[in-house]
Amino acid sequence: MSSRPVTVSESQPKPYGQTIGTGPHTLQADEPETMLGRDTGPSPYELLKAALGACTNMTLRMYAAQKGWPLTHVATIVTHEKITDETSPKRDVFHRQIILTGPDLTEEQRLRLLEIADKCPVSRTLEGNALMRTLPA
């Protein structure tokens, strides 16, 4: 797992445009126009959903390769909602629809891959009790 830092800085367009840098990669983030942003990049929650989907796909690809299973393509659609229930005032729920392509995959292999999806590191982080510490600059 990579430990290189991610740096996020305000950028154009104002008021919410952000430039994200990590290693040789640069991304943009923004809020949608409905939130008074300019929609020049994914929103923070869209980036979080992308991280979950990418981690899911990579985990499934690695597992299938280790097993020698005939997985030819994997795609994951991630949605997010906030719900209120009796256990907490607001709770985040991520829904993952995983599309496995491989005409020679058995039903047992497909079911096992869906189980393995829950073991991707981002899934575990979202399900766990991650700590966040703010450090002085």
**pLDDT given at position 2:** 55
In the three-class reduction of DSSP (H, G, I as helix; E, B as strand; rest coil), residue 134 is classed as coil
> What tens digit of pLDDT does each residue of 59-83 get?
999 999 999 999 999 999 999 999 9
CA triplet 43, 48, 50: central angle to 5 degrees? 95
Q: Is the CATH number 3.30.300.20 carried by domain 44-127?
A: yes
CA triplet 79, 69, 53: central angle to 5 degrees? 15
The encoded tokens of residue 82 equal 């906030």
> What tens digit of pLDDT does each residue of 96-123 get?
999 999 999 999 999 999 999 999 999 9
Kind plus residue range of the DSSP H or E element containing 67: helix 44-67
